[in-house]
């Protein structure tokens, strides 16, 4: 082999070796990059899952807090002498007034009586009657409870039988607004539930 051939062979060998080493390096670099990217993907997946779990836990806690707050807000005391009951009473009357927008609005009539201090609430089963008050009135802002007047306890059947006026057909008489008529004072009367408790409401009629 002459000198030129030797040089060419040597040069080719060096070139091939360089190409092979470059290829090996590139392969190594590619493998390293893949491993790095794989690590990044694994970390990204981990953090994504952690974030999703954290958000899910936060959302669950938030929903639970809302439900508990709503439950507390919706709970109405069965004790008619408390502000909690009076708040529930006003809400009920407002709902009634919104439901019946026509003339002779029973809910609106009772709201008016509540506002002017002429609406009374009676619980026959515990023997208490009390004048209702508006919890949104600034003067009642700090009121949590009032004493009320007591009387002998009795069943609702007995109480309503003696307090509501009956017609000639023995049915309870009602006014044009749908109110019953109280025998004792001739005023308007309503019997229904506030929260989960039965109460008797009484307020003056236009005729009394």
pLDDT, one tens digit for every residue, the chain (208 residues): 544 444 344 444 444 455 455 455 555 555 555 555 666 566 556 555 665 666 566 666 655 555 554 444 568 999 999 999 999 999 999 999 988 765 568 999 999 999 999 999 999 999 999 999 999 999 988 999 999 999 999 999 999 999 999 998 889 999 988 999 999 999 999 999 999 999 999 999 876 5
What is this structure's pTM?
Answer: 0.64
Short-list 131, 138, 97, CA closest to 114: 131
Give the residues across from 128 on adjacent strands: 123, 150
Q: Is 131 helix (H, G, I), strand (E, B) or coil?
A: strand
In terms of DSSP H, where are the helices of 75-124? 83-99, 106-116
DSSP letter assigned to residue 59: H
d(CA 188, CA 106): 10
DSSP letter assigned to residue 154: -
Directed axis angle between helix 83-99 and helix 106-116, to 10°?
140
């Amino acid at each position: 082999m002459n000198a030129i051939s030797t040089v060419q062979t040597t040069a080719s060998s060096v070139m091939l070796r360089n190409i092979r080493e470059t290829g090996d390096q590139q392969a190594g670099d590619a493998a390293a990059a893949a491993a790095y990217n794989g690590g990044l993907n694994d970390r990204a997946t981990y953090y994504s899952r952690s974030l999703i779990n954290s958000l899910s836990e936060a959302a669950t806690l938030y929903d639970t807090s809302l439900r508990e707050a709503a439950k507390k807000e919706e709970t109405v005391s069965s004790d008619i002498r408390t502000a909690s009951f009076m708040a529930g009473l006003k809400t009920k009357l407002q709902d009634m007034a919104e439901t019946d927008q026509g003339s002779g609005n029973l809910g609106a009539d009772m709201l008016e009586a509540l506002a002017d201090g002429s609406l009374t609430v009676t619980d026959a089963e515990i023997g208490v009657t009390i004048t209702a008050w508006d919890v949104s009135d600034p003067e009642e802002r700090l009121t949590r409870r009032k004493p009320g007047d007591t009387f002998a306890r009795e069943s609702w059947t007995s109480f309503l039988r003696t307090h509501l006026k009956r017609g000639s057909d023995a049915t309870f008489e009602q006014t044009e607004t749908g109110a019953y008529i109280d025998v004792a004072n001739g005023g308007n009367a309503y019997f229904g539930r506030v929260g989960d408790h039965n109460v008797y409401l009484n307020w003056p009629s236009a005729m009394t």
